[in-house]
């Protein structure tokens, strides 16, 4: 059931190809080497950090545009779109981690 959600997000194109390949490697081969597992965790940490930083910047930009009295509502549309996509990607990554934890327990 949860894997269907991840598959749907992959089909929609929410995740970058690199993450899709990592997910497929984790699903197909639960017995990944310690080095590969370590490298995947490091890459995930870096992605999460970059995503959080980018979301913070986007929120600041949106707030600055909202405070200005110009007709900049159209300018924020791209920022909102990028922010929402980053949030969805973050939620999908969290879901992937939770599925991995569930599979380890099982």
Residue by residue, DSSP assigns 40-54 as HHHHHHHHHHHHHHH
> 29 in the Ramachandran plot: left (φ > 0), alpha (ψ -120 to 50) or beta?
beta
Name the residue range of residue 17's domain. Answer: 2-105
Q: Where are the alpha helices (DSSP H) in 1-106?
A: 2-12, 17-28, 34-67, 76-105
pLDDT level of residue 69 (50, 70, 90 thresholds):
low
Instruction: State the pTM of this model.
Output: 0.76
Number of structural domains found in the chain: 1
Give CA–CA dist 47/51, Å, rounded.
6
pLDDT in tens, 16-63: 877 877 777 777 766 667 787 788 788 889 989 999 999 999 999 888
Better-predicted residue by pLDDT, 37 or 92: 92
């Amino acid at each position: 059931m949860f894997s269907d959600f991840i598959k749907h997000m992959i089909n929609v194109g929410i995740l970058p190809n690199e993450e899709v390949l990592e997910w497929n490697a984790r699903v197909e081969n639960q017995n990944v080497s310690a080095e590969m597992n370590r490298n995947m965790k490091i890459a995930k940490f870096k992605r999460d950090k970059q995503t959080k930083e980018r979301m913070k910047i986007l929120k600041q930009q949106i707030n600055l545009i909202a405070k200005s009295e110009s007709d900049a509502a159209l300018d924020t549309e791209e920022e909102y779109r990028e922010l929402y996509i980053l949030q969805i990607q973050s939620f999908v990554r969290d879901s992937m981690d939770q599925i991995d934890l569930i599979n380890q327990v099982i």
